[in-house]
A and B are shown apart, each in its own frame.
Chain A
Amino acid sequence: NAGVTQTPKFQVLKTGQSMTLQCAQDMNHEYMSWYRQDPGMGLRLIHYSVGAGITDQGEVPNGYNVSRSTTEDFPLRLLSAAPSQTSVYFCASSRQGEGLWTEAFFGQGTRLTVV
């Protein structure tokens, strides 16, 4: 029972490099989302998706792109990494039950450092 799988767990990038953080879930959840968490701060929503082919911006979308071509996968792309994107990134998924979002399950996080 995999749940939500995030890869990689750790990554160091140079400023200007691009990369994709992978997130996959095997629970057939409609809702998937990406958050970043900086020291002493809460989870800030980057992008989210309520189903395949549907994405929307969260609180801090600049510098990130997402796509949702399948229900299972929700990759997060950093187009040109900047030191300000050094953070811990979490992917989460959830499903609807009787029209309401239920418990969110999280991946283990990706610790990204941009130098």
Chain B
Amino acid sequence: RKEVEQDPGPFNVPEGATVAFNCTYSNSASQSFFWYRQDCRKEPKLLMSVYSSGNEDGRFTAQLNRASQYISLLIRDSKLSDSATYLCVVTGTGTASKLTFGTGTRLQVTL
């Protein structure tokens, strides 16, 4: 089983729609979680961190479900500019742990 798994998509949604992605992780001891956005052929950039209590940033909401070992990203009122690949990132515990990326979920927002 992969350490971090995402549905690759693509998710094709009309402008204004609400869309949600999930990301599952295998290590129950994982400590930090993030969502990144990657535009075509560019470097990934942090979209938001995911906190235990859930967090919201404008149209974006991130949730963590430790019991079921997944994180989610909800995008409301999708814009054309939201079209990108969304990567989830999970880190382990301790100073020797590494950042593990999912393969990404591609979102295409259309008119």
Which residues in A have some Cβ–Cβ distance to B below 8 Å?
A: 30-31, 33, 35, 41-43, 45, 48, 50-51, 56, 58, 88, 90, 92, 94, 96, 99-104, 106-109
Contacts and interface: CB of A to CB of B under 8 A. Distances in A.
Interface residues of B, number: 26
B96 A101 contact: no
Contact of B101 (A43, A88, A94): A43
A48 B31 CA distance: 18
Given A103-B49, A104-B46, A58 B98 contact: yes
Contacts of A108: 42-43
Given A33-B99, A42-B104, A101 B43 contact: no
A91 to B, nearest CB: 9
3 nearest interchain CB pairs? A42-B103, A106-B43, A43-B101
A45 to B, nearest CB: 7
B103 A103 contact: no
Contact of B96 (A35, A50, A92, A103): A50
A13 B96 CA distance: 34
Given A42-B87, A42-B103, A108-B43, A100 B98 contact: no
Nearest to B102: A42
Contacts of A106: 43-45
